[in-house]
Amino acid sequence: MNQLKSKFLLFFILLFVAYLLAGCTQAPQAHTEFVFGTVCSINLFKQGSDERYQALFMRLRELDAILSANRDDSTIAKINAAAGITPVYAEKEILDILGPALEFAEKSGGRFNPAIGPLVRLWNIGNEGATVPKKSEITNALKIIDWRSIHIDHDLNTVFLEKVGMRLDLGAIAKGYAANEAAKMIHNWGLQRGIIDLGGNILVIGSKEPGKPWHIGIRNPEISGGNSIVSLHVSNISVVTSGVNERFFIEGDKQYHHILDPKTGYPAENELLSVSVLSADSMVADALSTTLFLLGTKKSMSFLAEFPGVDAIFIDKAHAVRVTKGLQGSIQILDPSFHQNY
């Protein structure tokens, strides 16, 4: 009897040790780092490994080092410092982003503006001590945000900003490009499943399980880090949101957010709280989410006719949620204070 008891005990001890060992050798399931000034995480589930996460985040950090408008040593900073003086050599990545960025500027009548840098710097939104700038400062900044004064030389691989004081800012599109780059690496490894989340700029690869899509939530745009108020089921797609709750400050009784209207020099103001864009191409989704936010719901609906396969979710100040045709009937509203409008 005693022998039986000790055998049982040994069995359970071995089971426990096996359980612990399994825990130790399990693939790391997700990796999170602070890159692009935000929390970025990538989850490759069972196919995740330290080597893969290291390679992915090395690429993200490399892109940040080239593309960031907020660090002195980036290529963007060098192009900005040479504004009005000389063209600067630009990596392929910059040219890959700047070309489409200028197209979005053209198509949106200049609302999407990669030369918005002087205004972004003036407002300093999302950083310590941000306040509403003086009217005269805004007027001066508006004189040097002409995106048509950005010149790309494709033979010499250079970028030249024509006027002194001009500054490129790719903050509205760079994370989308970075998500595409990470997805390319994951595809090249032959993996079919993963989630890339670069500060809310989401790209899902494959589906959750065969035949079962991922569940994505759209946060309440009235609250910083709010709960999901809309849910949708998606596979192989990027979902990117631009909204009033991402970066902002409050002065007096007014909230000033980070998407600036190049016409007025102030944060864009219309009926919208947020726009989420769905596209297989995360750079397109990123550029479009900012553009549509600036255009407002009505203009966006016709603007999107040029982008087949792209869908959007508009959430407005009256708590109405509107979706494009491709999403009709496929979203769920999770918060009863919001309602779907057709």
Contacts to Mg ion by CB under 5 A: 172, 286, 289-290
Compute the CA torsion angle 105, 341, 218, 220 (nearest 10 deg).
100
Name the one range near ligand AMP by CB under 6 A: 87-95, 183-191, 239-247, 315-323.
239-247
Calpha distance 240→218 (Å, rounded):
10
CA–centroid distance for 242 within its chain: 8
Q: Quote the tokens at residue 136.
A: 């005269």
Decide: 288 and 278 in contact? Cβ < 8 Å. Answer: no
64 binds ligand AMP, rule: CB under 6 A: no
Q: Quick check: 258 binds ligand AMP (CB under 6 A)?
A: yes
Task: Name the minimum Å distance from CB 211 to ligand AMP.
Answer: 32
Name the closest residue to ligand AMP (Cβ). 171
169 binds ligand AMP (CB under 6 A): yes
Which residues are CB-neighbours of 137 under 8 A, at least 6 positions away?
122
120 binds ligand AMP (CB under 6 A): yes
User: Whose Cβ is closer to ligand AMP: residue 67's or residue 183's?
Assistant: 67
DSSP per residue over 170-220, as a string? -TTTHHHHHHHHHHHHHHHTT---EEEEETTEEEEES-SBTTBPEEEEEE-
**Which residue lies nearer to ligand AMP by CB, 93 or 169?**
169
Name 264's Cβ contacts closer than 8 Å, sequence gap at least 6. none
Task: List the single partner that 303 binds among Mg ion, ligand AMP, none, CB under 5 to 8 Å by kind.
Answer: none
Asked whether position 172 contacts ligand AMP by CB under 6 A, the answer is: yes
Supply the minimum distance, in Å, between the C-beta of residue 289 and ligand AMP: 6
Confirm if 201 and 185 have CB atoms less than 8 A apart: no
Q: Confirm or reject binding of residue 281 to ligand AMP (CB under 6 A).
A: no
Euclidean distance between CA atoms 187 and 192, whole angstroms: 7
- By C-beta, is 119 or 191 nearer to Mg ion? 119
Q: Site map for ligand AMP, 25-54, x if CB under 6 A?
A: ------------------------------
The only residue of 197, 222, 246, 316 in contact with ligand AMP, by rule CB under 6 A: 246
Decide: 176 and 60 in contact? Cβ < 8 Å. Answer: no
Q: Which two tokens stand for residue 197?
A: 């989340």
Residue 24 CB neighbours (<10 A): 7
Among 219, 175, 174, CA closest to 42: 175
Site string for ligand AMP, 291-310 (x = CB under 6 A): ---x----------------
Q: Is 257 in the site for ligand AMP (CB under 6 A)?
A: no
Q: How many residues bind ligand AMP (CB under 6 A)?
A: 20
| 115: contact with ligand AMP by CB under 6 A | no
Pairing of strands 339-340, 311-316: unpaired
CB of 47 to ligand AMP, least distance (A): 29
Q: How far is CA 189 from CA 48, 193, 206, 221, in A?
A: 11, 11, 14, 36
- What values do phi and psi take at 339, rounded to 5? -140, 155
**283 part of the interface to ligand AMP, by CB under 6 A:** no
Q: Which of Mg ion, ligand AMP, none is residue 311 near (CB under 5 to 8 Å by kind)?
A: none
Q: Which of 48, 118 has the CB closer to ligand AMP?
A: 118
Work out how close the CB of 215 gets to ligand AMP at its nearest, in angstroms, rounded to a whole number. 23
d(CA 45, CA 25): 14
Is residue 276 close enough to count as binding ligand AMP by CB under 6 A? no
Residues binding ligand AMP (CB under 6 A): 111-114, 116, 120, 169, 171-172, 242, 246-247, 258-260, 262, 286, 289-290, 294
